[in-house]
Structure 1
Amino acid sequence: MNGKGWTAPESGRVKCNIGISWSKATCMAGLGWIVRNSEGQTLLHSRRAFNGVSSLLEARRLGLIWSAESMISHRFQKVSFELEDHELVGSVNRPKAWPALKGYGEKLRGVRIMLQIGW
């Protein structure tokens, strides 16, 4: 996110914004996503909880994979994702710069290929 609020995707694409909340005390994560078109109209949204989540990074990974799989289920194409996690985005776009996240990056790249999306 750029700190200036929501920005529209380019024409012909949709944007999926992902929100994540995680509790260390309960190992619970609350996740949500919203899809909007280039005019800013909400097309679809969803939320869910995951238990047994050991870290904020794991919650973010789950959120990104769950939202990407949801885009596949709902047959969205040309999806841009937005979330506040430069490590996960870096693990996909520049894997050599993020060797500690190699496993995360490989899983996410697999989902990315299925969607043929922009990150």
Structure 2
Amino acid sequence: MFEEVEQWFELNKVQPPRAHTNTRLESEDKWNPPENGVIKCNIHVNWRNAHLLSGVAWIARDQIGNVSYHARDAITHAPNRFVAELRSVIWDLSSLRDLGISRVTVAVDYHEVVEALKKPQQWPRYRTLLEKIRNLKEEFESLDFDEEKISTNGIGRDIAKSVLRDGHFQSYLALGGPSWLHDRIARETIRSDV
């Protein structure tokens, strides 16, 4: 019996965590590019409460990190962050469609929104907004929704925060990235020689 107990403890001993030297794990906190020929559009919503405006932004980049477009806007009273996020996705998809971009990956840093976009039937409360997104999705050759870590969505987050922080309530869409973030965008750019 003592031998069995010792064996049980030996087999169930908690192993100390190993130090990871895997380069894939090291790169998880960096912006990940889309596949070749696809534009990745990172979205962020700066929602504070149901009575205030929300700052929204998106930034679209290609497989080497070059910024095609970025946009920001202020949206009115959303009852919760989830609704603000869905409204932001609709705004983003409408803009990309109007720009003639047909192959897109939309990256959102709010897990539940990604789940709702992938399985809308499980989110009946938001059926109207999800139906608008489904209708927009049909206008793209290729459209995927991915979850982005907050730490890798810093550019989109900073643009969205600037709406409320700096009082930039006027909607705009621009070529390239914002000048005040060029250095950070350049650091995230994937170089072809790497």
Instruction: Give the alignment's TM-score, normalised by structure 2.
Output: 0.55
Determine what percentage of the aligned residue pairs are the same residue: 27
Structure 1 residue 19: Cα displacement: 1.3
Which of 109, 132, 139 is matched with 1:84 structurally? Answer: 109
Structure 1, unaligned stretches of length 5 or more?
none
More helix by share: 2
Paired with 2:51 and 2:105, the residues of 1 have a C-alpha distance of 31
Structure 1 residue 92: Cα displacement: 2.7
1:14-53 correspondence to structure 2 within 5 Å: 14-24=39-49, 26-53=51-78
The answer to whether the 8 Å contact 2:42/2:106 transfers is yes
Larger radius of gyration: 2
Tell me the amino acid that sits aligned with residue 134 of structure 2.
R
The answer to whether the 8 Å contact 2:43/2:88 transfers is yes
More strand by share: 1
The answer to whether the 8 Å contact 2:52/2:76 transfers is yes
Report how many aligned residue pairs link the two structures: 118
Per-residue CA deviation, residues 27-84 of structure 1 (Å, 9 max, x unaligned), is 2110011010101011110101012222111110111110111101111110110011
Runs of 4+ in 1 over 6 A off after TM superposition: none
Aligned Cα root-mean-square deviation (Å): 2.0
Structure 2, unaligned stretches of length 5 or more?
1-26, 146-194
RCO comparison, higher one (Cα < 8 Å, 6+): 2
Instruction: Give the alignment's TM-score, normalised by structure 1.
Output: 0.86
